[in-house]
Amino acid sequence: MTAAIDWSAPYWESVAAEQLLLTPTLKARKADRTIRIARAPHGGRQRLRHPETDAGLITTGDVGQFGPYKVLRLRFGDAWHVVPSHADAMRWTLDGMAETPDGRSVEPDDPDSWLILCDLV
């Protein structure tokens, strides 16, 4: 079990200020505290659908905003990952190698690279 994230820490404000600007694919409803799907996931992936209801499911490439500072997080695999900064994206573009949300080093055009997942390549 993971510990709860302390969203009140000033660190998260600086993280949110430096992140790549992605349009969230998920929107929170304040009235009933649920999440609704607003658009297709980033990275050109197909939205998975529930086999019985045909409702859209949260999938790899979905982006949501969390905490009071609206920190962007991208869904990859079974976890949410903080969207990288502009400096990280520039470094990956110039180096010819990029990272994946789970920490692997891949080519920038790999389907799991941050550059593809953020629609930059």
Greater model confidence, 7 or 60: 60
Q: What is the pLDDT of residues 30-61, one digit of tens each?
A: 777 777 888 888 877 788 888 898 888 888 88
Strands 79-82 and 105-106: unpaired
pLDDT, average across residues 6-22: 77
Percent of the chain at pLDDT > 70 equals 92
How do beta strands 26-29 and 34-37 pair?
antiparallel
What is the rounded CA–CA span in Å between residue 102 and residue 106? 11
Q: Residues 6 or more apart from 20 whose CB is under 8 A from it?
A: 72, 83, 84, 85, 86, 89, 118, 120
Instruction: Flag whether the pTM goes above 0.85.
Output: no
